[in-house]
């Protein structure tokens, strides 16, 4: 499996079809999915039909994917995934940063470490001009990771939730970091 990026403790590699079982476990943890779908379970069929195709998509503007499986470097344990996906398929100028990690990996600095490494690679190697990230306003853990990775609060907004979940009534927040801000 091709390695996209390594940090001190992480390996970010391309997803393969063989990752379906890892994703099934991750997406069936109610705590992990609390701010995504309210903690509802996800079927293997949905993982194979919807999730994996999104994770395997190659973005022409990058010439690579926008999602990477995260493994602990010393144990090869699957920790979750990172998103660093161009918002326009054919341009790397603006990317969305995201992450979904197993609960056991929370509080260990993996999300911040992976996010900082992706941001650095984006600004130095991939032609990125702006990194953006969104989460529910009540998701304080994710907001803290965004701030520790160097992103700044931009705005609050109300998203279009197909099904309201607990906390969605408080809206969402957007954070960003530009290349110029990062270079300072």
Strand partners, 135: 173
Cα–Cα distance between 82 and 55 in angstroms, integer?
10
At residue 1, the pLDDT reads 67
At residue 89, the pLDDT reads 86
Q: Flag whether pLDDT at 67 surpasses 80.
A: yes
Q: Flag whether pLDDT at 160 surpasses 80.
A: no
User: What's the average model confidence in pLDDT over 9-37?
Assistant: 96
pLDDT in tens, 69-116: 999 999 999 999 999 999 998 899 999 999 999 999 999 999 999 999
In the block, tokens 């609390």 appear at 34
Q: Flag whether pLDDT at 161 surpasses 80.
A: no
pLDDT in tens, 46-59: 999 999 999 999 98
Q: Is 116 helix (H, G, I), strand (E, B) or coil?
A: helix
C-beta of residue 127 within 8 angstroms of C-beta of residue 91: no
DSSP string, 118-139: HHHHHHHHS---EEEEEEETT-
Mean pLDDT estimate for the chain: 95
If pLDDT is split at 50, 70 and 90, which confidence band does 162 have?
Answer: confident
C-beta of residue 64 within 8 angstroms of C-beta of residue 75: no
pLDDT in tens, 104-153: 999 999 999 999 999 999 999 999 999 999 999 999 999 999 999 999 99
C-beta of residue 119 within 8 angstroms of C-beta of residue 153: no
Q: Flag whether pLDDT at 60 surpasses 90.
A: no
User: What's the average model confidence in pLDDT over 157-170?
Assistant: 84
Q: Which residues contact 140 (CB under 8 A, 6 or more apart)?
A: none
Share of the chain above pLDDT 70, in %: 99
The CA-atom distances, in angstroms, between 152 and each of 15, 97, 149, 160, 182 are: 29, 13, 9, 23, 11
Share of the chain above pLDDT 90, in %: 88
């Amino acid at each position: 499996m091709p390695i996209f990026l390594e940090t001190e403790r992480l390996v970010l590699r391309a997803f393969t079809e063989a990752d379906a079982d890892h994703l099934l476990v991750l997406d069936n943890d109610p705590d992990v999915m609390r701010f995504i779908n309210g903690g509802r379970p996800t079927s293997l069929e949905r993982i194979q039909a919807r999730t994996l195709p999104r994770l395997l998509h190659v973005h022409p503007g990058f010439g690579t994917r926008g999602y990477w499986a995260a493994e602990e470097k010393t144990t090869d344990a699957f920790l979750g995934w990172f998103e660093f996906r161009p918002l326009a398929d054919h341009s790397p100028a603006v990317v969305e940063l995201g992450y979904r990690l197993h609960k056991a990996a929370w509080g260990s600095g993996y999300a911040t470490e992976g996010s900082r490494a992706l941001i650095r690679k984006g600004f130095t190697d991939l032609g990125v001009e702006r990194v953006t990230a969104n989460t529910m306003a009540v998701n304080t853990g994710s907001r803290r990771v965004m701030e520790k990775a160097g992103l700044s609060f931009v705005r609050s907004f109300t998203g279009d939730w197909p099904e309201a979940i607990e906390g969605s009534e408080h809206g969402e927040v957007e954070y960003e970091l530009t290349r110029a801000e990062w270079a300072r």
